[in-house]
Amino acid sequence: MQEQLKIALIQSDLVWENPKENRKIFKEKIENLPENINLIILPEMFSTGFTMNAKDVAEPMDGKTVEWMKKRAAKTNAAIVGSLIISENEKFYNRLLFVEPSGDIKYYDKRHTFTLAGEDKVFSAGTKKVIIDYKGWKICPLICYDLRFPVWARNSENYDVLIYVANWPKPRILAWDTLLEARAIENMCYCVGVNRVGIDEAQNEYSGNSAVYDVLGNAISSIKPNKEHVEVVTLERNHIAFYRNKLKFLEDKDAFILL
């Protein structure tokens, strides 16, 4: 069990539907990270941008971007997290991959597809919440629109860290800021959000606003909006244990099961 978890948030612009160029860009950013990082977090659909043109850019689980993630994880000795478009069994998924240095891969398929952009017409929705045990930390990975649905994120598993990767547009960024903080408070966990910046092919503008919140909802990161930014933040297990033991709010949660 590791008492600290050092995470790197990479807030970046994305090249539209160009996995090769995006892999190159993120490779350079990752190579410039300090040593001893445990977890590297990339935005949603980091290899393509938030495109609905899945048939032209989707990759299989043994494709180039997944292999690239495995290679980067092994070289940095850090797990790498980000979502990309995966083709599997004649379906498309907005799939978050958690790739460990060993090459082991765990994944989560986005549960709440974004109907406003027609994501529900192209991508199959996931059905399973995933809790990942990494270095003794329990991590719940979710994707963008999932942030609006607190029941899905509800901390029934006593997880330590909630991660959202996103392409969340600037006009609705207040909701992003507010809900990330709320998820940290209500689940008594660290909440991490990594969003992109720039303007995509559909002229959607993204301001980033990537952030890390502690158990009490305090921002413990200082990532600048509207620009590419890389920040390293250290999460402390003692912080979680202290406040959960002192306040015990999670013990009073309502008991119910999602069907």
Residue range 13-31: mean pLDDT, rounded? 98
Return the C-alpha torsion angle 21, 140, 118, 50, nearest 10.
Answer: -10
| pLDDT value of residue 232 | 98
Cα-based angle 138, 10, 121 (whole degrees, multiple of 5): 80
Catalytic residue among 70, 129, 144, 181: 144
Q: Which of 110, 119, 189, 191 is catalytic?
A: 110
According to the model, what pLDDT value does residue 259 have? 72
pLDDT of residue 1: 78
The model's pTM is 0.97
Cβ neighbors of 151 (< 8 A, separation 6 or more) are: 258
Q: Is 181 a catalytic residue?
A: no
Give pLDDT tens digits for 108-137. Answer: 999 999 999 999 999 999 999 999 999 999
**pLDDT in the model for residue 81:** 98
Identify the structural domains of the chain with CATH numbers, from first to last: 4-252 (3.60.110.10)
Residue in 17, 44, 119, 181 annotated catalytic: 44
Query: Residue 69 above 90 pLDDT?
Result: yes
pLDDT at position 237 over 80: yes
The answer to whether residue 44 is catalytic is yes
Burial of residue 94 (CB within 10 Å: 0-12, 13-18, 19+) is buried
Reduced to 3 DSSP states, what percent helix, strand and coil does the chain have, rounded to the nearest 5?
30, 30, 40
Digit-coded pLDDT (tens) for 51-60: 999 999 999 9
Quick one: pLDDT band at residue 252, thresholds 50, 70, 90?
very high
What's the whole-number mean pLDDT along residues 215-236? 97
Residue 257 pLDDT: 79
Span 77-96, pLDDT tens digits: 999 999 999 999 999 999 99
144 catalytic residue (yes or no) = yes
